[in-house]
Amino acid sequence: EAGVTQFPSHSVIEKGQTVTLRCDPISGHDNLYWYRRVMGKEIKFLLHFVKESKQDESGMPNNRFLAERTGGTYSTLKVQPAELEDSGVYFCASSQDNRAGLTEQFFGPGTRLTVL
């Protein structure tokens, strides 16, 4: 079975440009999460989808970030306009069930974003 996939694996853009990251969760997983790790810091939660609905977007840093999950399958995370502090690794994760502590979140390989 295919795992969580993310595209692109790397992206280098200039400040002010727009970048869109894509995540394809494991087939059948209703829950999709975005996390981010900036250099020297811990991995931090950004938001959570249940199917196509945003369940919790409390971790989104500001309104330059927009996440969508149309149709409840793959998700995109758009950063517009990108700033230097947005550089980091963006991880996507998915899980099948939502019962606390009973389901594993499977992580994708991440997209390494560099803003110059």
Partner 1 sequence: RKEVEQDPGPFNVPEGATVAFNCTYSNSASQSFFWYRQDCRKEPKLLMSVYSSGNEDGRFTAQLNRASQYISLLIRDSKLSDSATYLCVVNFWSNFGNEKLTFGTGTRLTIIP
CB 11 within 8 A of CB 113: yes
Alpha-carbon distance of 82 to 65, in angstroms, equals 9
Residue 38 near partner 1 by CB under 8 A: no
Nearer of residues 78 and 112 to partner 1, judged by Cβ: 112
Beta carbons of 93 and 37 less than 8 angstroms apart: no
Which helix or strand (DSSP H or E) is residue 12 part of? strand 10-13
Question: Using CB under 8 A, which of 20, 26, 52, 59 touches partner 1?
Answer: 59
Q: Which of 17, 20, 55, 76 binds partner 1 (CB under 8 A)?
A: 55
Footprint of partner 1 on this chain (CB under 8 A)?
4, 31, 33, 35, 41-45, 48, 50, 55-56, 58-59, 91, 93, 95, 98, 100-101, 103-105, 107-110
